[in-house]
Amino acid sequence: MLRRLFSLIMVLTILVPGLFIQAQEPAVTVAPSLAAQADARLSRWFDANQPGAAVLLIQDGKVLFKKGYGLANVELGVPMQPDNVFRIGSVTKQFTAAAVMLLVEESKVNLQAPISSYLEKLPKVWKEVTVEQLLNHTSGIPNYTDSKDYWKHMREELTPIQLLELSVNKLPLDFESGTQMRYTNTGYILLGMMIEKVSGQPYARFLQKRIFEPLNLKHTRYDSVTDLIPGMVSGYTLGPKPAYFWSVTQKYAAGGLVSNAEDLARWTLALHSGQVVKPESLARMLTPTRLRNGKEEPYGYGLGFRQSQGNRLVGHGGSVSGFECYVEADPTVKAAAVILHNTDYYKVDNKYLARFLLSQAAGKPIPELKPAAIEHSKLRRLTGWYTREGEFRFITFNGTTLFTQVLGGLKYTLIPISETEFALDGWDKQLRFELAGDQVLGVHRLYAEDPQEEPLQKRMDPIEDKDPKITNMVKQGLRDTVEGTLKSDLFTPDCAAELFPDRVTQAAAFLKSLGQQTGIALYAREERSGRYRYLYRVSYGEKNLIVRLWVEKNDLISDIWFDLE
């Protein structure tokens, strides 16, 4: 069962050499067998009456696959078309990076110069941060979308300077510049400001004149809520419900563009064929980041890298309220894949889809996994809760199949590869359980074709409840919700405004369907930024509810989420 109705605003952070497709030539669809294979793999992930996606695969100037799934507008029942326009989120960053390189080529920007040499009145701790460190996320400047209470202001129209003053100007660096890589949208806000200062043009106009118009990208532009944008789809979140409004002024050069699938493919192949920046500039954009300790990160300037079947893939994703985007190229075979969603809740991993599509273009299709036959008792022993560094994973079993879910996310089927190894259905991820005899110690996560496993997520047990006051509040609050007597004064004003009355009413119906509450156990309690996060398992007979809440110092609940285990 998917995320339930006590969840508050959850917006994912802004949140990823070929041939140029000549603008005047009509797209030619070829290889029907390939298209049929692609559609057979993709179609099961999209419902005809739900928000959907536009998917495109192009190779060597030819459209191999192009299709729209689901609805472009749910309220009107408008089917998705493959040429519809979407918000592309952080895919904007590669356009910003290319714009910076154009200025580098004109000797107007030095990648090794501090950003303070181009922009005035920046915080002192940012003084030595270089332009390159902004491009490759090694600056240490905090991510503005992660700052406390930022999302309370997401609807406001702010200038870039106002945005920084609101969120990060008074914060210390997360780490010494150049010593780590940590994704931060703030760096690209600063790069957008630098582009404007150096070029003397607004960011949107510079991209329009220097990139969009020369490449004939007729459907790519800076977003607007006042202009009519032909072909623009509506964005949705879980439900489906209309996505929360997020001012484009706050996305800016980190995530403020809109585009369609064919424009993004045209842009990608033009970039890799040297039609956007000079070869030496492109080489800089595609060079992995090397930290001060010598460690290499698979990320360049607004683009990430991975391997698939011996080929290097180059791409990036984007996520903004109600939209998800992923664009990836396989320069070896002159192919590009584009996936655009008009919802931020969907069933399949974009990296999985892109790798599958590009494998088709490479002539080496990735087969669907066939599940290994494993005794049910050996599957059941893996169930439980696992954690590492604040991330929580839940493994459940329905009698025949294992499922995995991270806190706040959707539930996915696990496909057995062996007794301890499992692939996530429709995702480019695998889990490997570590055992000592029959005792399960934890689980490792790894990505397709990446031999490096992530550190162990240890199996969890209930912890001692040293402050039963909050536990009793949770128990009684769930009961009061069912009985219709839940009081709003248990919550902060902002939280109460989100919950009452509609979500509380809907939550009451769900909780009532579970029956009598039979137990509660505390699994985690941790302090962060002056407030506490609690994680509970609440039992209703054979069913268990995962409950996560944030509690302020005054004991008021500021955020609560629950889901059926």
Cα 500 to Cα 486: distance, rounded to the nearest angstrom: 10
Cα 396 to Cα 414: distance, rounded to the nearest angstrom: 10
Q: In what helix (H) or strand (E) does residue 537 lie, and over which residues does it extend?
A: strand 531-540
Yes or no: say if 160 and 121 are a contact pair by the CB < 8 Å rule: no
Cα 501 to Cα 480: distance, rounded to the nearest angstrom: 14
Residue 218 has what pLDDT?
A: 97
Yes or no: say if 321 and 237 are a contact pair by the CB < 8 Å rule: yes
Pair of tokens at residue 55: 């998917």
**Cα–chain center distance at 398:** 28
DSSP-derived 3-state class of residue 272: helix
Of the candidates 504, 500, 494, the one whose C-alpha atom is nearest the C-alpha of residue 558 is 494
Amino acid identity for residue 159 in this structure: T
468-564: CATH architecture: Roll (3.10)
Yes or no: say if 290 and 53 are a contact pair by the CB < 8 Å rule: no
Question: Which stretches in the chain have pLDDT values below 70?
Answer: 1-32
Residue 540 has what pLDDT?
A: 96
Yes or no: say if 60 and 77 are a contact pair by the CB < 8 Å rule: no
The domain segmentation of the chain, as residue ranges, is 32-90+220-273+303-361, 376-459, 468-564
Residue 141 has what pLDDT?
A: 97
Long-range contacts of 172-175 (CB under 8 A, 24+ apart): 172/125, 173/125, 173/126, 173/139, 173/140, 173/141, 173/142, 174/140, 174/141, 174/142, 175/140
Residue 450 has what pLDDT?
A: 75
Place of tokens 């302090």: 527
Cα 29 to Cα 35: distance, rounded to the nearest angstrom: 9
Quote the crossing angle between the two packed helices 468-483 and 502-514, to the nearest 10°.
Answer: 100
Residue 390 has what pLDDT?
A: 86
Yes or no: say if 538 and 520 are a contact pair by the CB < 8 Å rule: yes
Pair of tokens at residue 546: 């995962």
Residue 7 has what pLDDT?
A: 37
Residue 467 has what pLDDT?
A: 79
Flag whether the pTM goes above 0.75.
yes
The 10 Å Cβ neighbour count of residue 111 is: 16
Of the candidates 394, 272, 380, the one whose C-alpha atom is nearest the C-alpha of residue 329 is 272
32-90+220-273+303-361: CATH architecture: 3-Layer(aba) Sandwich (3.40)
Q: Any idea which fold 376-459 has?
A: Lipocalin (2.40.128)
Q: Is the dihedral of CA 537, 540, 543, 547 positive or negative?
A: negative
Long-range contacts of 512-516 (CB under 8 A, 24+ apart): 512/482, 514/540, 514/541, 514/543, 514/545, 514/564, 515/540, 515/541, 515/543, 516/540, 516/541
Reported as a single tens digit per residue, the pLDDT across 216-273 is: 999 999 999 999 999 999 999 988 999 999 999 999 999 999 999 999 999 999 999 9
Cα 188 to Cα 62: distance, rounded to the nearest angstrom: 33
Length of the chain: 565
Task: Report CA-CA distances (Å) from 230 to 85, 108, 130, 166, 236.
Answer: 8, 35, 39, 34, 18
| β partners of residue 315 | 304, 328
Yes or no: say if 52 and 25 are a contact pair by the CB < 8 Å rule: no
Cα 472 to Cα 164: distance, rounded to the nearest angstrom: 40
Pair of tokens at residue 223: 């977003």
Pair of tokens at residue 411: 């539930």
Residue 369 has what pLDDT?
A: 87
